[in-house]
Amino acid sequence: MAMNIQQIGANTLRGLAIDAIQAANSGHPGMPMGMADVAYVLWSEFLSFDPSMPSWPDRDRFLLSAGHGSMLQYALLHLFGYDLSLEDLKQFRQLHSKTPGHPEYGHTVGVETTTGPLGQGLANGVGIALAEARQRQEFGQDLVDHWTWVIAGDGCMQEGVASEAASLAGHWGLERLVVLYDSNHISIDGHTDLAFTEDVAMRFEAYGWRVLLAEGHDLKEIRSALAEARQPCGQPTLVICQTTIGFGSPKLAGSHKVHGAPLGPDEVKATKLKLGLDPEQFFAVAPEAVRHARAKNPERLAKRQAWEKRALSAQGQKLLALLQPISAGQLDAVVWPTQAEGAQLSTRKAGEQVLTALGKQLPQLFCGAADLGHSTFAVLPGEKSVQRDNYLGRNVHWGIREHAMGSIANGLAVSGGHLPIVSTFLVFHDYMRPAVRLSALMGLQVGYVYTHDSVFVGEDGPTHQPVETLAAMRVIPGLVTLRPADLAETCAAYRLLCERTKAPTALALTRQNLPELPRPAGLDLAAALGQGGYVLRAETLPLQVVLAASGSEVHLAMAAQAELEGAGIGARVASMPSLELFDAQPLSYRDQVLPPSAPVVTIEAGSTQPWRHLAGRSGACIGIDSFGASAPDKVLAKHFGLTVANVVQVARQVVVA
């Protein structure tokens, strides 16, 4: 029987994936071969996009949560007319190519988010769908009318982040989110029944999703399921696509052996014969498949242009302005809070004041906590919370779902129009670290507000005392971690967070009150904090030692300096809110703050590892290189040497040495 044009298109996708993976001698052919039919029907009949303007705001979003199947997405982009050439496909998984091993946001045209770690794409999709729902409610369906489509696999369904995010999507009733579940019952080690025997359909129904079934190689069933998925129901939709991994391979179809390895030359030829492809041609693209895939591109262009005309309206211009990065003018208009020198305030409460001020000038600001809003204070006072009957709230109750919170925030950020601020206790950063890492990898503007930043949470004990967490955060490329010492530094930290429009920023804030610090006259604190560290109080005697500290320990340094100078020892205090930013400064600036002629004593209520390069051989590090303990904060301070007396003693020792 002759193949219809959609079967030819799907088999063309399979052939491109097979050849690219074989040429690279690396990759995952099973998923592209198994989901090619579903993907081709979706792209040719349901997906709204314009290859000539990939960033068109009202396009549908397509996310490949099962990112190991990246060649399926690359083949689709090429076939449907995006700026991704056949030569690009031939460079699959090669250095500096446009077709890396997993889809990367900002690297390959048409890729909406970086995927690969399983479940992240699905959770990002929840964020994108939430952004769409919020903007559609505010600006109307004439301007915001897109859908979010996600292909997820058995691995995604097993990852906890997908479960957390799916639970929220059902709670919010995000009916324009459709997840196409590639249910082939195979993972790397073998059949999924080795470890995964639950009823996924029943689980998602319990989450509040509509669940549909489709035979993943029957074009009629696929078309019917996708059409039903677009019918309003007040729920997100899971379409379980029953597929065969490696579909078309005579020897490997249905086997875990086709999951993550090339087919091999002989099986490539046998598979192409079975699929009706020329076994002697490589990277072949059937002309009729190209014609069919791109036949609607003029119509797609016209749809986008019609939207652009509608966007000339006042509402349209307001939407487009919202999608722009935060400007210096917006930040200059903020009335930043202040307090008198010596006034007592925790930096978490200082953060609440700053967010209140920012919220009045930044409509993009979107805040929430993982069931800790009354503790982190990272919420916008007076603003409503997002619920299924009101997406316009500017706060969100994430529940106890730190990982989904971080990943959904990435989806909000990548959608545009949102600066998500998400918060929890610092020790729970580890629950969301994979999402934080991906925001840094993608260069997304997400704000992470972590409170209860040290052992000074006190009696909660070592399970809640983040002694090693700051060190772990500081090594994530692109993430800047800021630990401000008072309200003024908290204002400057938030300003920097808002200015970093292409990177994530984390704030570590205290539970305990801290006094507002005196500063040198004329100091540009925003600029100084942006350099990571600065001289907070200069020595009045010939310099003999520098006390460098962050956050709550800056106050220890100030008190210790007074004692040292009273004893005739010239001491300087350097506030170091960000080691990463300080280390990135020119050597000349670093030497101005920490002169090589003077030993450095570093002070932070956490691991000393990030500070050792500043202390060097002649200095010393005061910190905590063990787990914490359960006790009142003043008892802990004495136990771990975080006292003025100990700082003075250590400083005297390095000066004598």
DSSP code, position 43: I
31 lies in some domain: yes
Predicted local confidence at residue 110, as pLDDT: 98
Q: Does residue 309 sit within a domain?
A: no
Do the strands 190-191 and 543-549 form a parallel or antiparallel pair, or are they unpaired?
A: unpaired
Indicate if 372 and 279 belong to the same structural domain: no
The pLDDT, as a whole number, for residue 656 is 79
484 and 543, same structural domain? no
What are the φ/ψ torsions at residue 395 (nearest 5 degrees)? Answer: -115, 155
The Cα–Cα gap between 305 and 222 comes to 30
- How many C-alpha atoms does 391 have within 13 Å on its Cβ side? 21
User: Residue 386 maps to which CATH number?
Assistant: 3.40.50.970
Place of tokens 């997840």: 179
Establish if 262 belongs to a structural domain: yes
Residue carrying structure tokens 């500290």: 549
In a domain, 550, yes or no: yes
pLDDT at residue 3, rounded to an integer? 81
Whether 100 and 228 share a structural domain: yes
Domain for residue 526, yes or no?
A: no
**3-class DSSP assignment, residue 71:** helix
Q: How far is CA 42 from CA 9, 83, 134, 391, 475, in A?
A: 12, 20, 25, 27, 40
To which H or E segment does residue 450 belong?
Answer: strand 447-451
Residues 506 and 582 occupy one common structural domain: no
- CA 452 to chain CA centroid, Å, is 22
Residue-wise pLDDT tens digits, 106-120: 999 999 999 999 999
Q: Are 479 and 503 in contact (CB under 8 A)?
A: yes
- Give 300-340 pLDDT, tens digit per residue: 999 999 999 999 999 999 999 999 999 999 999 999 999 99
User: Residue 645: CB partners within 8 Å, gap ≥ 6?
Assistant: none
Q: What is the strand order of the sheet 543-549 is part of?
A: 534-537, 570-575, 543-549, 600-603, 620-622
Q: What type of residue is 304?
A: R
Same domain, 204 and 339: no
Question: Hey, which residues are catalytic here?
Answer: 402
Q: Are residues 288 and 436 in the same domain?
A: no
Residue 609 belongs to what domain range? Answer: 531-656
Tally of domains in the chain: 3
pTM: predicted TM-score of the whole model, two decimal places: 0.97
Tell me, yes or no, whether 559 and 498 share the same domain: no
Domain-embedded: residue 374 = yes
Domain endpoint, select from 515, 541, 576: 515
Residue at a domain's end among 453, 488, 515: 515
Q: Is 396 domain-assigned?
A: yes
Asked whether residue 225 is assigned to any structural domain, the reply reads yes
Q: What is the pLDDT of residue 359?
A: 97
The DSSP element (H or E) to which 361 belongs, if any, is helix 347-361
- Note whether 289 and 337 are same-domain residues: no
Question: Could you tell me if 436 and 579 lie in one domain?
Answer: no
pLDDT at residue number 458: 84
Instruction: Select from 515, 547, 578 the last residue of a domain.
Output: 515
Residues 407 and 486 in one domain: yes
Predicted confidence at residue 399, as pLDDT, reads 98
Residue ranges, the chain, pLDDT below 70: 1-2, 657
Residues 465 and 576 in one domain: no
| DSSP string of 496-549, one letter each residue | HHHH-TTS-EEEE--SSEEEPPP--TT--HHHHHHTS-EEEE--SSSEEEEEEE
Same domain, 137 and 261: yes
